[in-house]
Structure 1
Amino acid sequence: MNIAVIFAGGTGTRMNTKSKPKQFLEMHGKPVLIYTLEHFENHPMIDHIILVCLESWIGEAKILLDKFGIQKVRKVVPGGSSGQESIYNGVQAAIELYGKDNIVLIHDGVRPLINEETITSCIEMTNEKGNAITVSPAIETIFLRNEDSNCVGQIFNRSHCEMAKAPQCFRLKEIYEAHEEARKNKLGDFIDSASLMQYYGYDLYTVEGPTENIKITTPSDFYIFRAIMDAKENLQILGL
């Protein structure tokens, strides 16, 4: 089976919204989280979805799932004190429901511009190689920050660099065991699942996804999302 763990446990402090977490902000009457979930709901290779949500918003999330006809979500679990702990809660729920011999796709609830082709490629790569990390080419110059001065540190050739995005796809047994090992050793500062798996010695394989597969973190991200969705809608109206 292919199980999506959609993690929407963040509070969105950089979004500067006081009324709603960023994943519940609406665009054209539909929350960002629902746009994200629909890609996995409608994908023929996704069997089940586990939603990881802010505990205080689980009730609202369940109302939205029913309102928008999201039927593949089998369980909604509370997030943890960090992104790593939230993902662990979702992975653990998948293990409890379906066992270890499955594939899990870990995706941000605030990354609603993913597409069917990328999800398919992630599953196929994981079946072949054991994992798949969605990436896009780096389009800006990247350099290391010099902690001791205002000087620019090492500059990287951006043609050799890629931006890690999501979904990040793994054999469920392997990502679960990596989380368990990290918890046992009190290692809680991994920025994402890819860094966790690389720390424990796994070779990671990439799948290139769409450049617009942004994570909505700031107000400008939200406006970019709206502009892209409006452009797509206009193209459909024009029949292009």
Structure 2
Amino acid sequence: MATALIFAGGTGSRMNSKAKPKQFLELHGKSILIYTIEYFELNEEVDNIVVVCLADWIDTLKEQLKRNYITKVKSIVEGGKSGQESIYNGLKEIYRNSSNPDKEIVLIHDGVRPLISSQLITKSIQSVREFGSAITVVPVKESIISTDDSDKIQKIHKRNNLKMARAPQSFYLKDIWYVHNEAIKDNKSNMVDSASLMMEYGYKLHTIDGVEENIKITTSFDYYIFRAIYEARENSQILGL
């Protein structure tokens, strides 16, 4: 059993869009969030989808799911005050309905990463079955510099030892549910992502290579990059390239 947890509870303050949250911005009549969900809907190894959504936009999402013939979304839950809390709300819903948390796999993915691939989803599930986790990464292409509080360079890191974490981040339900509950007990509420939370509680994590274009749409510039990549993909299919 594999369940996708899509979190889309952010307001998109850096997008400068006053009318809609970033996940509901549209391209060719379809929202970014629906583009994301469709990849999990069409992957045969994904059984269910749970979406964490802004409370005021749940009805809009329900209408979009119906209009786009999405059938795997079993629950829509309200987001929390932080990304960590939003993911916990989704996990709580998945755990409540799970018949076997020890074997169920959860793929945690940003609703504003619509350029994922079906191959990456399948690879994530296979990695969890083999290694217990799957953290999507891509190589670092620029030099990474550490500075002190006065902006003086402390270290220039070797790029061959560095990678950027992306999504999905995938685990067995029992493991990610356990660390979230431990974090609540320990009053740790601002972890950067699920991988950081798992490492905080001693789990060794396995990485898988992601796709470069699977960017997170955070700013207006990101949206234009998404549009360009999506249209290039569409044109290549039409032209048979």
Map of 2:56 onto structure 1: 56
Q: Secondary structure at the match of 1:153?
A: strand
* Structure 1 residue 98 displacement after superposition: 1.4
Aligned to 2:41: 41
The CA distance in 1 between the partners of 2:18 and 2:146, in whole Å, is: 34
Name the SS for the 1:163 alignment partner.
strand
1:19-98 aligned at under 5 Å gives the runs: 19-98=19-98
Output the CA distance in 2 between the equivalents of 1:70 and 1:153.
50
Aligned amino acid, residue 192 of structure 1: D
1:143 CA displacement: 1.6
Distance across 2 between alignment mates of 1:153 and 1:22: 36
Q: Which residue in the other structure is 1:210 paired with?
A: 211
The amino acid that maps onto 2:210 is G
Where 1:94 maps in the other structure, the secondary structure is helix
For 2:121 and 2:55, how far apart are their aligned partners in 1? 27
1:93-172 to 2 correspondence within 5 Å? 93-99=93-99, 100-101=101-102, 102-147=104-149, 149-172=150-173
Gapped runs of 5+ residues in structure 2?
none
Q: How large is the Cα RMSD of the aligned pairs?
A: 0.8
1: distance between equivalents of 2:44 and 2:178? 28
Q: Any unmatched runs of 5+ in structure 1?
A: none
Name the SS for the 2:174 alignment partner: helix
Superposed displacement of residue 227, structure 1: 0.4
Question: Equivalents in 1 of 2:81, 2:2: separation in Å?
Answer: 26
Question: How does the TM-score come out when normalised to structure 1?
Answer: 0.98
Amino acid at match of 2:88: Y
Aligned AA (1:110): V
- Counterpart position of 1:221: 222
Q: Which moved more, 1:197-206 or 1:134-143?
A: 134-143
**Cross-structure match for 1:188:** 189
How far off is 1:152 after superposition? Answer: 2.1
What is the TM-score when the length of structure 2 is the normalising length? Answer: 0.97
Runs of 4+, deviation exceeding 4 Å? none
Per-residue deviation, 1:3: 0.4
- Tell me whether 1:232 sits opposite 2:233 in the alignment: yes
Deviation at 1:103, TM superposition (A): 0.6
Q: Does the residue aligned with 2:7 lie in a helix, a strand or coil?
A: strand
The AA in structure 1 aligned to 2:197 is L
Quote how far apart the aligned CAs of 1:153 are: 2.6
d(CA) in 2 for partners of 1:217, 1:105: 21
More divergent stretch after superposition (138-147 vs 45-54): 138-147
In 1, Cα distance between equivalents of 2:183 and 2:227: 38
State the one-letter code of the partner of 2:234. Answer: E
1:230: how far off? 1.1
1:75-130, CA deviations, whole angstroms, 9 ceiling, x for partnerless residues? 00000000000000011100011142311000000000010111111101100111
Q: Deviations over 1:179-228 (max 9, x none)?
A: 00000111001000000000000001001010001000011110000000
What amino acid sits opposite 2:83 in the alignment?
G
Aligned partners of 1:70 and 1:141: how far apart in 2?
42
